[in-house]
Chain A
C-alpha cells in the first residue's frame, strides 16, 4: 500500500491530483482518466488536495476499498472502450497517515482513442501538459483504431453517392455501424411481416403519423438484406436493413409534403420520419449491437432546391401560418453534410428521438432557421417526440 510520496509534487502530463470530494463527481474523474488514456498515461490521485498545481495535503477516503471498487465500476461504465485491468487500476494507497486512492492509467495504443460517455454523447478529452482539451475530429479519426469509423464513413458516403446518382428527389437517412453487427435478416423479415409493419405502436407511433413502420406490401428478403416500402414502383419511401447492420431509409421529397404551399415540407413529416428510423434502429440493433458500437448517421436531401420549410408546429394552428415558409437558400440541388454524426449505440438505445432531432436540427440550420423553429412536439426537456394522443 505504500507508494512514492505524491506530496509537494506538481501536476504534469502524467500526474493529476483530486481532492476527496471529487469522489462525489465520478464524471470529472472519468474525464481525467480518459484524457490520460488518450495521452501517455499516468496517475490520478484522489484524496490529495493541491494548491496551484502542487500536492499539499492528503485527505482520508472513508472505506477506501469499497470506494476503489465503486470508482472502478464507474470508470468501466463511463469509458469506451471499457478499460481493462491492464489499462486502469484503482488502489487504496497510504500517504502519510491517510488512505487515499491512486488510479494507475496505462493506455493501449491500439485501443485509443478512449471516449468518455457523458450526457448520452461521446467526448474525447486528451491530456496536454497538466491541462485537458477536447481532441479534434482529425485527431479522433487519424487514430489507427478509428479505421473502423473511417471505413464506415466511407461506406456511408458511397451509399449516399449511389442514391444521389439515381436522381430521385428524396431525403435519405443512412445508419452504418462502425463495427459489424450480425442481423438475422430472415427473422427480421418475419417480424416485420407479422408484427412491426402492422403495429407502429411497437416504435411508439400511431398509424396516422409519418413513420417507416408501414408498408404497401410484404417485406422482401434479398441476399443478406430485407427491404420494405410504400408505393412501389415509385416509392414514397423505402427502407432496407442489411445483415451487417447498415440501414437505409429513403423518403421521396413529395412524401414530406402534406399541406401548405407547393413544395413545402410539412415539419411533422421532417421530424417524425427520421425519429421513427432511429426508433426502428433501436429495436433492430438492440440484440446484436453493444452499447459501445458506434453508429454513423448521415442524412442527405436530393433535389431540395425550391423546397420550403416553415418554422413552428402545424398544431399551433393559425400561429403556424403567420410565419412565412422559407425557401432552401442555397443554389445547390442537393443538401449534404461533409461529416456524419457518430452515436454510440447506447445513445440510440436511450434517446433515439434525440438522435433524430440532431439530424433534423442540421436541416433547419441549412434553411437558416434556428433550433427553436423545430416543432415543439419534440420535447426538449425529455428529449422525446411527444405527439398528441
Chain B
C-alpha cells in the first residue's frame, strides 16, 4: 500500500514538473507580445505598487477601470509581488496565471480523487489538464480566467472537504469570494455553483449550520468593497457585459423586423406578435449560442476565432479527445456516484454567461469547463482501459496518438502562432517603444495612431512614473461606438484616432515623430524605421519631418 501511494505521489510529481516546464518556460517570448488587456493589468499593478493608486488615481480599487470597461482586480493585485521582485516585465505579468495554472492541475487531482474515489481517474484528469491546449494557452497569458478557475475549483474542493472538517467552509467561501474578484463571468457562475453545492450537501450542512452561517458572513465581508464601489459606479458589477450581451447585438432585432415586414400589412398584429416575439427570438438565440459550445468543429477543429484565444488550425481540445469524451460522458452518466452531479452541474453552468453574449462560441468565457472536460476524458480512457483485451497495445496507441497531438500543438503554439500570427497578440509595440525611447530626445512630440490602445504600451515598456502619469494623462472618459475609452496623450505623446499617412503627408509638423500601422504606405525618404512581424510583414512604420 505504501509502495502504491509512493507511486501515485511520484506520478503526480512528474505531472506537476512536466506541466510547470510547459507553463513557465519562455513566458516572455510566447505568446509573442503582451496583449493590451495583459499589459493594462501589469501597468496598473505597477501603479498600485508605487502609489497605492491605479492609473486613474483611484486608491486601492475594488474594480479597475480599463479602456472603458471595469476589470476585476484580483489578477492585477496578484501581479504586485512579482513586479516587486522581478520588475515590470512580461514574466511578472504572466507568472500568477502560470503558477495558478499549475495549481489547478494539483487541485484537480485531489478534487477528482475525493469526488470519484479513483486515483487512476484523478491522475489521468491531472495529466490531461497538463497537456490541454486550452489550459496551456490560458496559463501562459494573464487573461483573468485562469485565476478565476483556480479559486472556483479551490472553493469547490474546500466545500466538499468541509463535510468532514466544517471549519473549511469559511476558507471555501473566501475562495469563492476571490473568484468573484477574478473574472466577470464568475459573478454568474460562482453563485450558481455555490447554490448547487448547498443543494447537494443540504443534509450535511444542517450539522454545521453555525459554521456555515459564519462563512456566509465572511463571504459578505469579502464582497463588501465591491458592493461599496457598485453604489458609486453601477457598471463595476458586470462591466462591459451590456455591450457584449445578445440584447445589444442588432442581429436578432433586424431578423425580427425582416420577418414582421414579410408578414405583410394585411397580417393582424397579433399574429406577428405571436410568431415573432422577443421571448421566442431571443430565447432561441441564447439557446443557439449555448449549444454552439458543443459544436465539434469549434471543440476539435478550428477553436475560438477571437485572435488572442486562437491556436491556428486546431481546436481547444485534441481531435483524439472526441472518442474519450463521448465514452466518458456515457460512463459518467451511468455511474452511481452521487457526486457526478457536482461535475455535471459545474460543466453545464460554465456555459451560461457565454450564452448571453453575442461572441460565441467563446473559449475564454467558458474556460471553467476545461476541468469537467478533462474528467470526462479521464473517465473515458479508464473505461476503455478496463474493457480492453490487450491493454499494453491500447496504452501504446493512446500514448502515440496523444504524443502526436501534443507535438502538433507545441508546433502550432510555439511556432505558427508566434511567427505567422504575431499580430493576434499585438506584436510590435515593444519594439516601437524601444526605438522611440532611443530617438525621442530629438523630437518635441510623438504622434501615435491609436491602434489597440498604444498609450498603455508606452507606459508599460517606458516604465513611466505612475505619479506623473496620474497627473498628466489627457482623457475625456467618453466611450467610442464599441464602448472603448481612449487616452489622448501624456508627456510628449499624442494618440490620435483614425490617423493615416495620407491625411498627414502634406501637413507634417517639424520635430515630430509619427507612428502608423504597417499597412500604411509611407514615402521612403520620410520613413525612419519599419517594425516587422516575425514573418516579415510590416507591423508599424515610424516617420518624421526632419
Is this pair of chains taken from one and the same complex? no
* Residue ranges of B at the interface with A (Cβ–Cβ < 8 Å): none
* Residue ranges of A at the interface with B (Cβ–Cβ < 8 Å): none
